[in-house]
A and B are shown apart, each in its own frame.
Chain A
Amino acid sequence: DAKTTQPNSMESNEEEPVHLPCNHSTISGTDYIHWYRQLPSQGPEYVIHGLTSNVNNRMASLAIAEDRKSSTLILHRATLRDAAVYYCILRGGATSGTYKYIFGTGTRLKVLA
């Protein structure tokens, strides 16, 4: 299973942008990059995913390096509600036959009021 590396923790001030990095140097050509977050005492929550191009949705943006060996999740304006553990996960494409997620330890984001 392809491995990702994330900082253990980060802090941000409320209303400021947050850039959460993820390294995945062993990514294969068909692996999707998924981001989930887990708020305290809740199940993982989907944030965003991408393959090669940068992606935007209502929650966040995903910037993917040209060589795909790293990516960055961008929260444009952090709120207190965004305090959570953020997971960067590689998931095989349809041809891999697997859709399981292998969670790492993630990045614990603390948002300061």
Chain B
Amino acid sequence: EPEVTQTPSHQVTQMGQEVILRCVPISNHLYFYWYRQILGQKVEFLVSFYNNEISEKSEIFDDQFSVERPDGSNFTLKIRSTKLEDSAMYFCGRRLAGGNEQFFGPGTRLTVL
């Protein structure tokens, strides 16, 4: 199973600050996803990304969120002005072209104070 890595493993920030979470790419993975899991709750879909474009997003993914993969480098999730309720585990998912399953990273724990 392809290894998926995410950085940082834990991020602590003050409310209102910007954070960037990173997902390290593996060649042949063309489809990227972000999910989040608030402590004790379900895993929730945020956004899917393919060919440098958002292909699908949930209602959670509002104007405070953005994703990009500049120049084929890390796939990032940016939260512009964090709120207390953004505290959660954020998981990056990746899928091979033509593949069915998604491979998830170990997650980044975001704590907003």
Chain A interface (Cβ < 8 Å from any Cβ of B): 32, 34, 38, 42-46, 49, 87, 91, 97-105
Contacts and interface: CB of A to CB of B under 8 A. Distances in A.
B111 to A, nearest CB: 15
Interface stretch (B14-22, B65-73, B74-82, B100-108): B100-108
Interface residues of B, number: 24
B103 A46 contact: yes
A46 B42 contact: no
B91 A102 contact: no
Contact of A99 (B4, B31, B44, B105): B31
Interface in B27-64: 31, 33, 35, 42-45, 48, 55-56, 58
B107 A43 contact: yes
A84 to B, nearest CB: 13
B44 to A, nearest CB: 7
A44 B45 contact: no
Contacts of B83: none
B43 A44 contact: yes
Given A32-B100, A44-B93, A87-B43, 4 more contacts: A42-B107, A43-B4, A101-B102, A103-B35
A70 to B, nearest CB: 20
Nearest to B1: A46
A42 B93 CA distance: 13
Given A98-B56, A99-B95, A46 B43 contact: no
B104 A103 contact: no
A34 B93 CA distance: 15
25 contacts: A32-B100, A34-B101, A42-B106, A43-B105, A43-B107, A44-B35, A44-B91, A44-B93, A44-B102, A44-B104, A45-B1, A46-B1, A46-B102, A49-B101, A99-B31, A99-B48, A99-B95, A99-B102, A100-B45, A100-B56, A100-B58, A103-B35, A103-B42, A103-B44, A103-B45
